[in-house]
């Protein structure tokens, strides 16, 4: 099927591109981009791009697809559809499946289930076997099978000697090591950010220092082991932003991500005891939000990733303390980012595209997407100005544990084009 994007604004920071034009896509390849009007036949899908933006396909480098092992929460097909519905053409899955992604058999299973889909599914694997923080996985075999990053996400590698060995092993091949920064000794049994609201509500708190201790240690180890590549998952505190800023100023090869809920929501939302606001790391203070936004503006924070973490309603609809941490995020990310970052005057459209498309691929060593004739079409098309009310009933994810249900957002995904396929969002 031919696709004709008519009168659409095309923005790609990689090419320093921002202009109004027409694009003809044939058999998945961009055949024409320019200002001329193209004659089309009745079989061509014509999309009126007035008021829309075409960007290099958005990439979420932190999703949990629960497959294998917990398919009732999400499976690879539903996860892919949720990503497409939310405006993403690429994702990186986390390894905490059942069994975990710590061997090539699980990697091959995921690859076989996700080949030639509209969303490119890339894979991360555990730093340690069974994500137990003890013995290293066979990183070389896993990398040869296509793994792009090593992380025990959801669990920190608490043992400093094990983490040092991971950096030393990764040094041979320049593998990317990533970490969910949490000193579990300080957070066991937590339900919320440690502060005024956790005290008021009688909930066990997650102190900000528990994140910052592990982050600081890891950066010191990465530097000690020869300035190794290191990525911090979903940082959430002002202290973490400053630690990353200082590391980058020293020339260390450190990167980080932040999740939309950590710059859109503060700890006061837990007053309702709604478990859809129970997240790890927890939503923090307004001061933390201000620091995160400043980190996004000055480039300290490299990218935005959703930490899409599906849980079934019977798991979430329990007492706050007993509910699992995590929220779905793929289908609200663009709306939340545009509302709280672009329309609030913090980031430009080009800067937002860098955080959602360019930088995640750069961190993972993937080729940048180029929008020009002869290139494969890998595109996200969104409206920056459409206003809508989030209704989780329209989600394609199997789970609906969103904190944003009922929120009014400005800006939404419209289409994704990738691998010779077109998907129209129904949000």
Is 307 a known active-site residue? yes
Written as one string, the DSSP assignment of 38-72 is ----TTSEEEE-TT-EEEEPEEEEEE---TTT-TT
Task: List, as own/partner pairs, every contact residues 19-26 make where C-beta atoms lie below 8 angstroms and the sequence separation is at least 24, other chains included.
Answer: 23/54, 23/371, 23/377, 25/377, 25/417, 26/2
User: What tokens were used for 22?
Assistant: 């027409």
User: Contact, 247 vs 231, CB < 8 A?
Assistant: no
- Asked if omega into 118 is within 30° of 0 (cis), the reply is no
Please give the C-alpha separations between residue 217 and each of 6, 67, 210, 255, 339, in angstroms, as whole numbers.
51, 32, 11, 15, 35
Place of tokens 């000794």: 185
Up-side HSE of residue 27: CA atoms within 13 Å toward CB? 1
- Residue 276 is classified by DSSP as G
* Distant-in-sequence, close-in-space partners of 205: CB < 8 Å, separation ≥ 6: 190, 191, 192, 193, 194, 195, 198, 199
Instruction: Choose, from 307, 385, 386, 391, the residue flagged as catalytic.
Output: 307
- Residue 151: closest CA among 191, 201, 92: 92
User: Contact, 60 vs 83, CB < 8 A?
Assistant: yes
Helices and strands (DSSP H and E) totals, the chain: 14, 18
Residues tagged active-site: 307
């Amino acid at each position: 099927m031919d696709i004709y994007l008519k009168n659409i604004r095309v923005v790609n920071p990689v090419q320093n591109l921002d202009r109004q034009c027409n694009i003809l896509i044939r058999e998945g390849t961009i055949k024409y981009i320019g200002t001329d009007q193209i004659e089309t036949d009745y079989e061509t899908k014509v999309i009126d791009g007035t008021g829309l933006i075409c960007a290099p396909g958005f990439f979420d480098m932190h999703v949990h697809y629960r497959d294998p092992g917990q398919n009732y929460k999400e499976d690879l097909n539903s996860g892919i559809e949720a990503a497409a519905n939310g405006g993403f053409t690429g994702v990186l899955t986390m390894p905490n499946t059942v069994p975990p992604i710590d061997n090539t058999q699980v990697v091959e299973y995921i690859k076989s289930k996700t080949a030639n889909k509209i969303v490119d599914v890339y894979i991360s694997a555990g730093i340690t076997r069974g994500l137990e923080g003890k013995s290293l996985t066979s990183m070389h075999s896993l990398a040869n099978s296509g793994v792009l990053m090593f992380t025990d996400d959801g669990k920190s590698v608490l043992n400093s000697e094990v983490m040092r060995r991971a950096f030393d092993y990764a040094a041979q091949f320049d593998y990317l090591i990533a970490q969910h920064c949490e000193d579990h000794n300080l957070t066991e049994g937590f339900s919320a950010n440690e502060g005024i609201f956790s005290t008021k509500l009688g909930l066990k708190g997650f102190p900000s220092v528990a994140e910052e201790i592990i982050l600081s240690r890891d950066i010191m180890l990465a530097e000690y082991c020869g300035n190794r590549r290191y990525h911090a998952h979903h940082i959430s505190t002002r202290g973490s932003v400053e630690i990353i800023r200082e590391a980058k100023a020293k020339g260390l090869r450190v990167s980080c991500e932040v999740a939309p809920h950590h710059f859109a929501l503060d700890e006061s939302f837990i007053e309702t005891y709604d478990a859809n606001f129970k997240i790890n790391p927890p939503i923090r203070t307004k001061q933390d939000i201000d620091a995160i936004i400043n980190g996004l503006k000055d480039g300290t924070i490299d990218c935005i990733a959703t930490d899409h973490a599906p849980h079934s309603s019977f798991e979430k609809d329990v007492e706050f303390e007993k509910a699992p941490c995590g929220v779905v995020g793929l289908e609200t990310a663009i709306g939340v980012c545009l509302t709280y970052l672009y329309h609030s005057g913090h980031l430009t459209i080009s800067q937002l595209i860098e955080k959602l498309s360019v930088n995640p691929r750069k961190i993972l060593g993937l080729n940048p997407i180029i929008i020009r004739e002869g290139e494969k079409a890998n595109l996200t098309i969104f409206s920056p100005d459409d206003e809508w009310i989030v209704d989780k009933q329209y989600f394609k994810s199997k789970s609906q544990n969103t904190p944003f249900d009922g929120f009014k957002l400005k800006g939404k995904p419209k289409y994704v084009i990738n691998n010779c396929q077109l998907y129209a969002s129904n949000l």
